[in-house]
Amino acid sequence: MTDQATAARAPRLPREERRQQVLAAALEVFSTSGYHAASMDEIAEQAGVSKPVLYQHFPGKLELYLELLDAGLGQLIDAARTAISAADNATRVSAMVDAFFSFVADPHAAFRLVFESDMANDAAVRERVDAADLTLARMAAAVIAEDTGLREEEALLLASGMLGLVQVSARRWMRAGDERPSQEVASALVASLAWRGISGFPLTHPPQAE
C-alpha cells in the first residue's frame, strides 16, 4: 500500500492522539519482531499512517524505540513505588512481586523491550535499563535497611538479589504457556519465597558502630 493510500484512509486525529496511535503500533511491532527486524514501513502500516506522518512524530526508529522503553521503565518504577508505599513489609514484598508479574502479563506494556530486548547491548538502551534497575533496587534497599539495620551497600545487595529473583521468575512464568499457573498463584509463590528470605533479617543485624 502506498503512503498516499494509507494517508487517504487514515482519519484526521489530534496530534497527540495520532502520536499515541503510532506508539501503540510500534510497541506491537517491536515486541513481535524485535528492534532489528522491525522497519519504519511496517510501523507506519500498523499505525495506519503514511511514512511522512510517522517521521513528523519521530525522526527515526531508535528515537521511537527509546521513547517506548522510557515509558515502559517508568510504568514499572511507578508500580514498584506504589508497592513500597504499603503499610507493612510482607504486603510490600507481595505488591512488588505482583507489580512485576502484572508488567510482564500486560500486552500493552513494554516488558519485552525492558527484559528481552535485542538492543540490550546498545549504549542508550543499557544506560536506561541499568538506571531503572538501580532505582528499583534503591527503593527496596531503603526499606530493607530501615527494617534490618544493614548498611546501605548490604541492603542494596539483598534488594538486587530479591529483584533478580522476581524478574527472572516473572519472565519464566510468562514463557511457560498453557501449563503455567495463574498469575495470582505464581505471584503468591514467588512472593512467599522472597518474603521468607527477607523476613529472616529483621532484628538480626542491628546497626554497627562506625
Instruction: For residue range 73-91, list pLDDT tens digits in order.
Output: 999 999 999 999 887 888 9
Cβ proximity of 174 and 186 under 8 Å = no
Highest mean pLDDT out of 4-18, 69-83, 134-148, 196-210:
69-83
Question: What is the mean predicted confidence (pLDDT) over 60-82?
Answer: 95
The H-or-E segment that residue 196 falls in is helix 183-198
Residue positions counted in the chain? 210
> What is the set of domains in the chain, with CATH numbers?
3-59 (1.10.10.60), 66-198 (1.10.357.10)
pLDDT in tens, 114-134: 999 999 999 999 999 999 999
Give the separation between CA 18 and CA 20, rounded to whole angstroms: 5
Question: Which one is predicted more confidently, 154 or 199?
Answer: 154
Q: What is the mean pLDDT of the chain?
A: 88
**What is the reported pTM?**
0.84
